[in-house]
Chains A and B, each alone.
Chain A
């Protein structure tokens, strides 16, 4: 790995911004690399501009999908390694369940972002464990923050706040989208989301009622059931 490539890679990893590296592992130019980042010029040790452009497109798609692995390009095998942003849980609604969730999320390797336009709810006193508190409307806060490593948990109990969040989250690349509320609440919500223009595939990927059925009653128990469901989805289990 050339020093210039390593320096850019190290910088991106340290700042937790998305980056991918394509490495020729068989065929001509073994060891040659191309570094790819969204919205930035590629840094390439390969001279074949058509191949570099193809790698650029493929790496960005794999980064978005959270994939990595070996691809074949003509005579060469190229390993495309992706570093998506860290796994993140975004909670919409700075409610008591969100307090419990931020506490559970950290030791399980998730960053946490709590979104609530109401300044009195999303405070440092209540959310000492959260990585980020965002005082904004849910749809504004979610735009630009959703990728394949993101879970969105909608907890406000208020359709005026829940629905705009879901209208952004469900069509996005976010791996997990869940919403609090009973089956009855969910049935009414499905009708509203459909009226707002979401299709059945988008609506059916919503986890609602949210969480694994562990009979949770307290905010902590419900937080645990949500946390367990997010971990299950991260691990490729459908529950």
Chain B
């Protein structure tokens, strides 16, 4: 695995693959060595976070916790901060945002089919869900046997914000970070403008400067801050004319009713944008009202 840099009009583009997503940096500079250095920094940080927090690996803290069989695990500072964060998100969302809800994937497969699980199957998983059942006394974490945690819901956004911090510490140039549609702009460009972002039906990405056929339904200038999207037009089930969104209520184990297809939110950081978008989805048809009350810029599809 490695990264690439290419020169574009007025900026350098760094590219690599991480966290199962295409990742790119747009760096406002003519300086190839700076572009190389910043892309390397970003690549290493994204790889580090993926390696440390991916639930698909067997050599990291998440695996250790998920295979602790009810025993107490002492965690490092960064993991502790993320668990604190998960705890605060759980509290503020009255239990709707729950990093232990990933086990619902055992019964829900969002592949566009009509494969809706039976009530009993869903019910059987529920006892293994619930952040209130874990014992978190930093730095000691005890997860009841059979439960799992998954920081995937905040991992990519966290990687974007962490990368932005590292880039800021190394360079004063404006950089747009895009990890699979989770974005962050470090500062305004030299002319005072932001980076042009295209909000599309299938997600968001930097708008192509010389794109012949634009697919964006909306364009937006990101001057500084984060953007994230929750929801995905391809991840749903349809049965008997009912569309089941992949946003699941951890209390019932069933999809949130009448949730939008996707929500995109702009916030101070990428991780805040991501949480607000997810909370918006969890509000179902009240998503718009909820996001308006937060006073953030958002788009609902």
Do the two chains belong together in a single complex? no
